[in-house]
Amino acid sequence: MNFQENVIVVKVFQILAFAFVYISAFAIIIGPERKTKWFKRRTKDTFFTHRGLLGNYINFGYPCTWQGILVFIAIFGVLVPLTYWYIFAWFLNIINLIRS
Mean pLDDT by 10 residues, the chain (100 residues): 76 92 90 87 68 68 89 92 84 69
Torsion angle, CA of 59/76/37/43, rounded to 10 degrees?
-40
- Domain extent at residue 12: 3-99
What gap in Å lies between CA 96 and CA 25, rounded to an integer? 36
- Indicate whether this model's pTM tops 0.85: no
